[in-house]
């Protein structure tokens, strides 16, 4: 069976096609037969489409007026020319979408109906940079592929079982009744990494206390016990928690009141500052990219050094918070772009937890590990670097749901 996955960001659209057996799902991720990504950050009104299939890699400049037209061009590479991997769109059995925010409505992957689309739309104020892009992808598939089954896999779903005392904010109770609470995000990644850790260690997931560190441009931690997320650092929106690439993470909310009163900041200005001009980018004045921060430090840039020190401090602090919630720790996991590739971040994060008996093997840490335990043999806590496979996790959900539809 053919499963198409769309993973939309605020300024990108990633997609891939898996070819799977209808009778058995592999335990380990397999390579998709086609991969594509549109990057809309290059210049206004232009997208760069990169396609990989049949051992070919192509780059195409897109000049369409609407992103939906770009998505159509991306999908056409499935059935045309050198990148062709299927004869017709009708060969695709099911389509899965990563959807950032599902609110309290969805605790698992769900077939997309008009009602589900309406909910995703209603939740745009809580994920304004992402939910519109998800709807755009869903509607593009409706236009191009017709009535093919579509599935929403929600980033919030894995955190659905967080206890209310961990999810509620200490503001008047009436706001909890109005669904202002911690939702958590990156759930697809946190859930995948927890399952993969159990496989790597050959232990039941239900026997492990884990902290998963999803460190990319967006960053979040999850405390996972018995395979269930019991706390996480992102909250009502993806802005809360750790310092990130361009997001501030948690700050004193009175700062916002002060900026509004004394500097006449509007909600739009505050949103732009906190989500797009803060974090590593805001402090360093260089970039949201950790690699650029490292280069700045080499060149003696004090702001770059401050940005890294703040990033590490907040990471350590919130690992400590998750540790307290779990009441112990068996496995510390690093994943996503920074977590998987920045050895110095992993080293600095682990330094503060030697009192637990956690010991990092420096040689393993610096050897570009993938799905590997980088703790020393005598470490009381296992330290894993796991390559997150969100697209594969979405494909797995689609496979299971497809069996129900037949």
Q: How confident is the model at residue 62 (pLDDT cuts 50, 70, 90)?
A: confident
Angle made by CA atoms 204, 210, 216, in degrees to the nearest 5: 125
| pTM for the whole structure | 0.92
What's the pLDDT at 120?
Answer: 92
Please, are residues 104 and 79 in contact by the beta-carbon 8 Å criterion?
Answer: no
Return mean pLDDT, the chain.
93
What's the pLDDT score for residue 43? 66
Cβ-defined contacts of 65-73 (< 8 Å, 24+)? 67/13, 67/38, 67/40, 67/133, 67/136, 68/136, 68/139, 68/140, 68/143, 70/13, 70/38, 70/40, 71/13, 71/38, 71/136, 71/137, 71/140, 72/140, 72/143, 72/144, 73/49
Say which residues have a Cβ less than 8 Å from residue 391's Cβ, sequence separation at least 6.
5, 7, 14, 16, 32
Strands (E) in 259-402, as ranges, are 331-335, 372-373, 382-385
pLDDT confidence of residue 63? 79
Query: Sorting pLDDT into bands at 50, 70 and 90, what band is 389?
Result: very high
C-alpha distances out from residue 180 to 185, 235, 314, 362, Å: 15, 9, 24, 43
| pLDDT at site 125 | 85
Per-residue pLDDT reduced to its tens digit, 179-202: 999 999 999 999 999 999 999 999
pLDDT surpasses 90 at 41: no
Provide the pLDDT confidence category of residue 404 given band limits of 50, 70 and 90: confident
Please tell me which residue in 39, 70, 122, 155 is annotated as part of the active site: 155
The verdict on whether 39 is a catalytic residue reads no
pLDDT band at 406 (very low <50, low <70, confident <90, very high): low
The 10s digit of each residue's pLDDT in 199-223 is 999 999 999 999 999 999 899 999 9
The confidence band for 44, taking pLDDT boundaries of 50, 70 and 90, is low
**Closest Cα partner for 336 from 208, 225, 220?**
220
> Given this model, what pLDDT does residue 130 score?
83
The secondary element (H helix, E strand) that includes residue 176 is helix 173-177
Report how far residue 97's alpha carbon sits from residue 101's, in angstroms, rounded to the nearest whole number.
12
Closest to 11 measured CA to CA, from 32, 37, 31, 33: 37
Domains of the chain in sequence order: 2-154 (3.30.420.40), 203-385 (3.30.420.40)
d(CA 30, CA 33): 9
Residue entry with tokens 């670097």: 385
- Beta bridge partners of residue 96, listed in sequence order: 5, 151
326-351 pLDDT, tens digit per residue, is: 999 999 999 999 999 999 999 999 99
């Amino acid at each position: 069976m053919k499963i198409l996955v769309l993973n939309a960001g605020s300024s990108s659209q990633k997609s891939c096609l898996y070819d799977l057996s209808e009778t058995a799902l592999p335990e380990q991720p397999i390579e998709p037969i086609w991969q594509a990504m549109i990057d809309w950050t290059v210049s206004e009104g232009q997208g760069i489409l990169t396609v990989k299939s049949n051992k070919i890699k192509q780059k195409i400049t897109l000049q369409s007026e609407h992103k939906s037209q770009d998505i159509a061009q991306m999908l056409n590479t499935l059935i045309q020319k050198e990148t062709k991997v299927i004869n017709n769109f009708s060969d695709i059995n099911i389509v899965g979408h990563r959807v950032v925010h599902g609110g309290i409505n969805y605790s698992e992957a769900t077939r997309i109906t008009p009602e589900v689309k309406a909910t995703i739309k209603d939740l745009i104020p809580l994920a304004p940079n992402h939910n519109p892009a998800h709807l755009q992808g869903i509607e593009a598939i409706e236009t191009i592929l017709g009535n093919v089954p579509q599935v929403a896999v929600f980033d919030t779903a894995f955190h659905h079982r967080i206890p209310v005392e961990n999810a509620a904010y200490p503001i008047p109770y009436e706001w909890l009744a109005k669904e202002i609470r911690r939702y958590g995000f990156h759930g697809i990644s946190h859930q995948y990494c927890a399952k993969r850790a159990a496989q790597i260690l050959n232990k039941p997931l239900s026997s492990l206390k884990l902290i998963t560190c999803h460190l990319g441009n967006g960053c979040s931690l999850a405390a996972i016990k018995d395979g269930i997320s019991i706390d996480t650092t992102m909250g009502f929106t993806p802005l809360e928690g750790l310092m990130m690439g361009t997001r501030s993470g948690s700050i004193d909310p009175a700062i916002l009141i002060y900026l509004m009163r004394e500097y006449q900041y509007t909600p739009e200005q505050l949103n732009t500052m906190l989500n797009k001009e803060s974090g590593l980018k805001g402090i360093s004045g260089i970039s949201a990219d950790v690699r650029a921060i490292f280069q700045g430090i080499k060149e003696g840039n004090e702001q770059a050094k401050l940005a890294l020190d703040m990033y590490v401090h907040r990471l350590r602090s919130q690992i400590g918070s998750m540790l307290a919630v779990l009441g112990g720790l068996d496995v510390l996991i690093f994943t996503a772009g920074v977590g998987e590739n920045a050895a110095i971040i992993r080293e600095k994060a682990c330094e503060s937890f030697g009192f637990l008996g956690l010991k990092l093997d420096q040689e393993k840490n610096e050897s570009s590990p993938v799905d590997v335990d980088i703790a020393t043999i005598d470490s009381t806590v296992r330290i894993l670097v796991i390559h997150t496979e969100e697209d594969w996790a979405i494909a797995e959900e689609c496979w299971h749901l497809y069996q129900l539809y037949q």
